[in-house]
Chains A and B, each alone.
Chain A
Amino acid sequence: MSDEPLLEARGLHVRFPAPRGATARALDGVDLDVRRGEVLALVGESGCGKTTLARTLLGLERPTEGEIRFEGEPLRYDQRFLRSYRRRVQMVFQDPMGALNPRQTVYEAVAEGLRIQRLAGDEAARVAGALARSGLRPPERFFERYPYELSGGQRQRVVIAGAMALEPALLVADEPVSSLDASVRGEILALMLELVREAGVTVLVVTHDLGLAWNIADRIAVMYLGRIVEEGPAQELLSRPRHPYTRALLSVVPEVEGMEQQILVGEAPDPTRIPPGCRFHPRCPLVASGEAARLGIEERCRTRDLGLQEVRGAGVGHRAACHAL
């Protein structure tokens, strides 16, 4: 039981109609496990599909193809199922100011979810418990405050308390600190680690920030054009990235020492026109430098699509989708 992933996605595809009759393949075959009690960082640039994946895992978006299982049970899309599912799987949005109603007190903001879910029991005690767990202590002192009376970090704590009040198994946090001032971010990240440790919640954090992943993640999955192209234990993946895209992404982060910069040309690629073969090959430094040709794989890079494969000689669970492996 405990080895079974909390959440599994298999062969997920999400397609959207795009202008001029085109189809955007926002998710193009995603397999992902979220394990119990871990912090998993889903990393990628805008347009890679990471937010679509998060929304699909939350049941907000229905996959065109593929299946999601939560605690072993397939996700269904009827009202009844979704309501109980959304109690177990909670979302924390990017901007606490947008997530909170400015005319609602902290108490009301946290109690709202409890009322929607019609959770029986002592409401005030649940609200107090969630606020305290989110670091707003003593909780009663915050009951009657309004969002504008709080600091940016405190506001994000209220949003997290609203999610935690429902005692979810999984917290999905989409760029949870990017709207906060830099010096405040650490306190929210520390809170998330504390919730994992103390409340046993599992966290899926969606971010563009590899430094954040180094700060809090146990595992990392890197997305590119609707697909996960590399995944593995955070320390291992960031110390020895194997996919050329991950390597390039890491090389341009100013906080990485002693790595030669590999700046990819062009903008984030277009999900309505996913290249054939390896989807990264038009921007791949291995192809551009002739290294792929020397390795005798260039033809495969251009024509053969490939999935994740175990990286030989790496830690368990380190997988990447590259012909050069």
Chain B
Amino acid sequence: MTVPILRVRDLRVTYRGERGVVPAVRGVSFELGPGETLGLAGESGCGKSSIAGALLRVLPRGTEVTGEVLLDGEDVLTMKPGRLRAVRWSEMAIVFQGALHSLNPVQRVGSQIAEAIELHQPGADARGRVSELLELVGLPARRAIDYPHQLSGGQRQRVLIALALACNPRVLVADEPTTALDVMVQAQVLDLLQRLQRELGLAMLFITHDLSMLAHVCRRTAVMYAGRIVEEGPSEDVFQRAAHPYAAALAAAFPVIGDPAFRKRPVGLVGDPPDPRELPPGCPFHPRCAVARPDCDSIEVELWPVAADRRAACVHVLGGPR
């Protein structure tokens, strides 16, 4: 791999509030090269969205974040507010799910985009750039005068993408960017993101619960469970031949249409993902695991090699403990 543009080292996110101490992310490391795509998959509460928030430092006040988020070698976590504002949007930007809540309902969408441009590139031709951006995301430039409620869900999501790209970032974080959308609109937005990623050479971190989607969008995928990465590798391999039993169960939740193995044979896990405040000892997945060994409730799992470019945190993998 070339020199990574984003390097995350031992990231930990802990919320402290009325609900007690919640260790949402418990030591996550990954790298993203220029123009590379990495998928981050997992279910609600696994910590994937906390990672997105930590990368951009948009988590609630009082949240404890440790580790390193190196953007071109510079640690985002220790940046001064002024530097952080400069880096946000112009180096690394984010597209959230639920476009209705991320846009200001009483401001025209064009002026929201222009505002971001003027803030980061004073003197730039903001109006011209807004038109350019809208067209880039497949919206007619005249839509700039619309308010968010005048747009459909898919169009609003396109506006959010335009907003994220306003200051030419090199890293794009997409957090469930298609989740609330209908199947066909989802395909439209996904297609757009893939095209932009390729054309603009963006490094993209794509966060979703939909493992099957990542197989198409990202070269590599990491699956998270209980605040940690439990498997990582080429997306196709992770989706089709997962080494970690949790990743396998998550993949099975997206049946391959046409594959007789899935016909009339739904499979699911028992129980819920664990409460991060009360994690099971040993491998946190062991209470739901069909292939757990007697020692899984005490062993400290780590990412062991499965193949040259794959790792999984399960005692059953090839490179695991004897």
Measuring CB to CB, which residues of chain A are less than 8 angstroms from any residue of chain B? Answer: 45-46, 151-153, 181-190, 193, 208, 210-212, 214-216, 235, 238-239, 248-250, 252-257, 261, 263-265, 267-268
Contacts and interface: CB of A to CB of B under 8 A. Distances in A.
Given A254-B210, A255-B212, A182 B183 contact: no
Given A182-B250, A249-B183, A257 B266 contact: no
- Most A CB within 10 A of own CB, among B191, B255, B270: B255
Output the residue of B216, B263, B266 with the most chain A CB within 10 A. B266
Given A215-B262, A253-B257, A267-B154, A181 B186 contact: no
B274 to A, nearest CB: 11
Contact of B269 (A183, A193, A212, A250): A183
B268 A183 contact: yes
A263 B184 contact: yes
B257 A188 contact: no
Contact of A187 (B250, B268, B273): B268
Nearest to B186: A252
Interface string B243-255: 0001001101111
Q: Output the residue of A208, A215, A265 with the most chain B CB within 10 A.
A: A215
A238 B269 contact: no
A264 B184 contact: yes
Contacts, number: 127
B256 interface: yes
Given A152-B272, A181-B272, A183-B249, A254 B254 contact: yes
Contacts of A45: 182-184
Nearest to A45: B182
A90 to B, nearest CB: 21
Interface of B: 43-44, 152-155, 182-188, 191, 209-213, 215-216, 246, 249-250, 252-258, 262-273
A153 B271 contact: yes
A123 to B, nearest CB: 29
Contact of B271 (A151, A238, A265, A267): A151
Nearest to A186: B268
10 contacts: A183-B268, A183-B269, A186-B249, A186-B269, A190-B266, A215-B255, A215-B264, A215-B265, A248-B184, A257-B258
B184 A186 contact: no
A96 B265 CA distance: 23
B184 A254 contact: no
Contact of A215 (B209, B266, B270): B266
B131 to A, nearest CB: 21
Contacts of B270: 151, 153, 187
A300 B153 CA distance: 33
A232 to B, nearest CB: 15
A18 to B, nearest CB: 17
A256 B246 CA distance: 22
Given A187-B270, A267-B182, 9 more contacts: A183-B246, A183-B269, A188-B268, A208-B183, A210-B257, A211-B255, A215-B266, A253-B183, A256-B256
Contact of A153 (B152, B155, B186, B272): B272
